[in-house]
Structure 1
Amino acid sequence: MSTAAPPPTDFNRLWLTETIRLREEFAGPLEDGEANRRARAAGGNLTRRIQTRALWLAERDGLLDALRHWRQGGGLALAILLALAVGGGASLALAALGAEQKGPINVFWALGSLLGLHLLTLCGWLLGLFFAADGGGGALGRLWLWLSEKLARDAKVALLAPALLLLLQHRRLGRWGLGLLVHGFWLLTLTSALVTLLALMSTRSYGFYWETTLLDGDTFVALTQNLGALPAMLGFSLPDPATIRASADQALSVEAARQGWAGWLLGVLLVYGLLPRLLLALLCLNRWLSGRAHLAPDLSLPGYRLLAERLQPSSERLGVCDAAPETLPQVPRSALGRPAESTPALLVAVELDENRPWPPVLPGGVGDAGVLDSREQRRRLLERLAGQPPARLAVAVDPQRSPDRGTLALLGELSRSAGRTRVWLLPPPPGETLNDERLDDWHIALNQLGLHYGSDAPLGWLETGDD
């Protein structure tokens, strides 16, 4: 497994934990013996152990790399959306002022072109915030998730987006995260429109007018002044009633009138377009950051409840209930074996025939872990190594046996439980010959595992660490 990449952030650990839970819910429990041992050895509360287990499984099964690919795809999808926002904002401004139009501009048609879609989507987001189950992320949020998955180009990312949404639903963070995306998109769109308007109005001369059939002039005067009241407080110009009335049906050629209408249009765009999106984006960012700081796995879910006993056994959760006796029973040292912290080097054998003498004479400082014949013996040794890994570990195997998948998996797990590991391919007993084809199978398998091996006894290496 790769170790070059930096460790995932706390949020990514939570995301991977939820992805593993979702995967096991759909496909059944994963092979997690080593992951559980490492989680118990790492310690911490149940939440931390669940995350440690999930991170190890994600790295083993390629989900950690898939997450990196998904995030790269998400960044690229976001860049595409930002480019669309900039281009869309410029298009709104060009449509509002009629880039190919030489005549005057209907000021209210221009205003509708600039703010109409923005107001519709804003109302849709507000309705979704209060009534939609997903918090109103809308089509833009779903588009970003879809693009992120497609651009990741990794078949293993299929569960990442659903796991992300489920994780965010625990504290109703989906609405704020996707809301930040939506309002950020529109903030950039309207900013692009405002900059384009400024550029066009600075380099071309525009006249503005309004017209109506059903409404009277007083209605347009009141509407114009009411819309321009807030922008006027920020210093934008507000046409007086006489100028508004005079602009009916035809644009005034007076420079002050043209500048007054241009300032009014820019101010209305800023106050009713950019500022609401900016404030809502800041609100979503604040709620996102505060909620994310308290985000944690939902331990009430069945998948996590099943892990509690495996990662935090009842005896560990209950602690010591009885008072300590005045004297503790003495256990012979021979029954305990050599403690791991005093054995920087350890020798263990896997499934040896009973007629083979074992163990060899060991140099000082080298511990003997015996012969692993049963699953329970393997489990006990792996539990011991998870808490106290030796600096050097030699594993003796009989190359007369086939390198089956169970033995190779055990060798891989033992090698990850020690600083350095070597496999000792034992010579055949006297009077027997070694099968060359089977020995070649061992060489191929150990090379694939990346383990050092040899037929010479590694006792000197165990004692000194020198090659």
Structure 2
Amino acid sequence: MQDKINRWLLDNALAHHPDQQALLNDNEAIQAASACQGNDAEKLAVFADHLKVSSQLIAVIDDYRRCFDMARIVFWLVAFLVGASSAFALLTATANHVNLMSVTLFCALLPMFSLCLWLGVSLLRFGQSDSISGGMLGRLVNAATHLLSKLMIAANTAPSVHQNAVFRAGRQWVNPWQLSLLTHSSWLFFSLGALLGTLFRLSFYQYDFYWGSTLLDSQQIAVFVQISFALPAALAGIPLNADLIASAQLDQSSIQTDRAVWAQLLLMSIVVYGIVPRLAFIALSQVKLRQSLKNLPDNYAYPLFRQALKRIKSLSEQSQQPMLAPRYPLPADRAAHTGANTIASIGIELDQSDRWPLIKEDTVKDLGHLINSQQYQSALTALESLEKPVDVLAFCSYARSPDNTTLKRLRNIQDIAEGRVLIVLCEQAIAESHQVDIHSRLIDWQTRAHEHALALVDFDCSHKVNVNDVLNAAEREQQT
């Protein structure tokens, strides 16, 4: 169930991510999904997992779930301590004389009154989509969760758009049955604390019990005791008669010492009114919660996933058909290298940048390996100092898609060089390890290179290469 919840939170956060177009343009995710042999839902799950933003979203989701668990544990602990400390306080308020009225009202009947209030609110809302009341404690836990999440994620490097997307998904996931489960479990821990606190005090201290009230007389107290203790007495097998009740009245000259009977009834009342009903409603809430999680909104029906599925299916159909890469002739003045031209090389975001330069010959001018715009400007400065015309071998990786920025920069380099730029596609093995469809990626590069009047050749650069081998391969590429 935990994995399913994380799956839903991730998909929902992606479905409502503000930068939808950037997600759809993640070619690596589209290609990974198209390689999946499963059904549409499995393909979309692969697409979501391989998006570049997914790793950051998953980190935020983990923080959110961790905060939810922390808030739940804190509330359970507080409820337990409140119940135990209340029992201790009520049993030590008047030395060894204990007023059963106050102990019973607070430790046994207060949880039952809270349960009746919850049922009443739920019945008033019957017929609405969220007719079950989450309960005040459940809503407090939910509010604390969001507060803790914001405090913890404030130190996280994830962008705020990712955090907001996860918080939005979390609000849909935390439904009324989730809050109901938190409410009943918190009251359960309160009753457990009261039961254990009372049991501890009764086990190690001797008390005299009496029923006392400023507003109620003896007859009214007797009615109250008969009504409130009828079920606990029946379950405990203790006859609740008038003599037993009368013996524990405050106006008696001597307090009846039948302590064990009243101690058993007190403990049984906490179990009957505080623990058993909450266990039943926790079980009900758990069953309804599982059902509600199965009926969460279908994230794959959102526009992002519908459009992604179209692209995935389109790419899958293309890969199933034999398809030749198009051949684009270059302009005549840039179709081939002439021996008089200066030759330079440049690397574009290669994974194995530590192997740069890839050309064996020292005569080839090295313009550097480009990662950022500052290095690009340095390469332009170095290129302008060379004798024109210059032919530039631009080594690019199969692992990278042909983005507009890279192609515009290469076209600018070609204009300054007054020669030609030859894109040398390499690192095929690295791309395959990332599950990139090499054939589709080659077509993408050839199409975009043609749009910018750039030459392209596929070449094995797993070791340092000879410049003439690269140029000869490019000429053969143009002739075929």
TM, length-normalised to structure 2: 0.62
DSSP-derived class of the 1:159 partner: helix
How much identity, in percent, do the aligned residues show? 24
Whether the 8 Å contact between 1:17 and 1:50 is mirrored in structure 2 is no
Counterpart in the other structure of 1:270: 271
Counterpart in the other structure of 2:11: 17
Q: 1:431 and 1:194, CA in 2 relative to 1: closer, same or farther beyond 3 A?
A: closer
Matched to 2:201, the amino acid is: L
Correspondence list, 1:107-256, <5 A: 107-115=100-108, 117-130=110-123, 131=125, 135-152=132-149, 153-155=152-154, 156-167=162-173, 174-212=175-213, 215-235=216-236, 237-250=238-251, 253-256=255-258
Report the Cα offset of residue 87 of structure 1. Answer: 0.8
Q: 1:246 and 1:234, CA in 2 relative to 1: closer, same or farther beyond 3 A?
A: closer
Correspondence list, 1:24-423, <5 A: 24=18, 27-32=19-24, 33-34=26-27, 35-57=29-51, 60-97=54-91, 99-102=92-95, 104-115=97-108, 117-130=110-123, 131=125, 135-152=132-149, 153-155=152-154, 156-167=162-173, 174-212=175-213, 215-235=216-236, 237-250=238-251, 253-256=255-258, 258-292=259-293, 297-313=298-314, 336=324, 354-355=334-335, 400=345, 403=348, 408=349
Give me the whole-angstrom Cα distance separating, in 2, the residues matched to 1:454 and 1:314: 28
Give me the whole-angstrom Cα distance separating, in 1, the residues matched to 2:81 and 2:273: 21
DSSP-derived class of the 1:55 partner: helix
Which deviations, in whole Å up to 9, do the C-alpha atoms of 1:49-100 show, x marking residues without a partner?
A: 3332222237645111222222333333233222212211112212332x24
Whether the 8 Å contact between 2:10 and 2:54 is mirrored in structure 1 is no
Report the Cα offset of residue 116 of structure 1. Answer: 5.1
Q: 1:58 and 1:201, CA in 2 relative to 1: closer, same or farther beyond 3 A?
A: farther
Matched to 2:63, the amino acid is: H
Q: 1:208 and 1:430, CA in 2 relative to 1: closer, same or farther beyond 3 A?
A: closer
Whether the 8 Å contact between 2:109 and 2:274 is mirrored in structure 1 is no
Matched to 1:121, the amino acid is: S
Q: 1:94 and 1:423, CA in 2 relative to 1: closer, same or farther beyond 3 A?
A: same
Q: 1:58 and 1:125, CA in 2 relative to 1: closer, same or farther beyond 3 A?
A: farther
Q: 1:60 and 1:276, CA in 2 relative to 1: closer, same or farther beyond 3 A?
A: closer
Whether the 8 Å contact between 1:210 and 1:247 is mirrored in structure 2 is yes
Q: 1:307 and 1:140, CA in 2 relative to 1: closer, same or farther beyond 3 A?
A: farther
Give me the whole-angstrom Cα distance separating, in 2, the residues matched to 1:280 and 1:39: 43
Give me the whole-angstrom Cα distance separating, in 2, the residues matched to 1:307 and 1:437: 34
Instruction: Report the RMSD for the aligned CA atoms in angstroms.
Output: 4.4
Whether the 8 Å contact between 1:209 and 1:250 is mirrored in structure 2 is no
The yes-or-no answer on 1:433 pairing with 2:434 is no
Which deviations, in whole Å up to 9, do the C-alpha atoms of 1:339-368 show, x marking residues without a partner?
A: xxxxxxxxxxxxxx95567xxxxxxxxxxx
Report the Cα offset of residue 187 of structure 1. Answer: 1.0
Q: 1:215 and 1:120, CA in 2 relative to 1: closer, same or farther beyond 3 A?
A: closer
Matched to 1:456, the amino acid is: K
DSSP-derived class of the 2:366 partner: coil
| Runs of at least 5 residues in structure 1 that lack an aligned partner in the other structure | 1-7, 169-173, 317-330, 338-352, 358-397, 416-420, 460-467
Report the Cα offset of residue 315 of structure 1. Answer: 9.9
User: Highest CA radius of gyration, 1 or 2?
Assistant: 2
Matched to 1:101, the amino acid is: T
Counterpart in the other structure of 1:378: none
Give me the whole-angstrom Cα distance separating, in 2, the residues matched to 1:124 and 1:20: 39
Give me the whole-angstrom Cα distance separating, in 1, the residues matched to 2:87 and 2:173: 39
| Runs of at least 5 residues in structure 2 that lack an aligned partner in the other structure | 155-161, 326-332, 338-342, 377-394, 401-426, 431-460, 468-480
Give me the whole-angstrom Cα distance separating, in 1, the residues matched to 2:291 and 2:368: 64
Give me the whole-angstrom Cα distance separating, in 1, the residues matched to 2:185 and 2:114: 13
Which deviations, in whole Å up to 9, do the C-alpha atoms of 1:196-245 show, x marking residues without a partner?
A: 10110111122222235655533332332232222223225354211212
Give me the whole-angstrom Cα distance separating, in 2, the residues matched to 1:141 and 1:94: 26
Report the Cα offset of residue 250 of structure 1. Answer: 4.2
Matched to 2:115, the amino acid is: L
Report the Cα offset of residue 161 of structure 1. Answer: 3.6
Q: 1:199 and 1:430, CA in 2 relative to 1: closer, same or farther beyond 3 A?
A: closer
Whether the 8 Å contact between 1:36 and 1:311 is mirrored in structure 2 is yes
Report the Cα offset of residue 275 of structure 1. Answer: 0.6
Whether the 8 Å contact between 1:66 and 1:157 is mirrored in structure 2 is yes
Which deviations, in whole Å up to 9, do the C-alpha atoms of 1:308-342 show, x marking residues without a partner?
A: 433445997xxxxxxxxxxxxxx9x9x747xxxxx
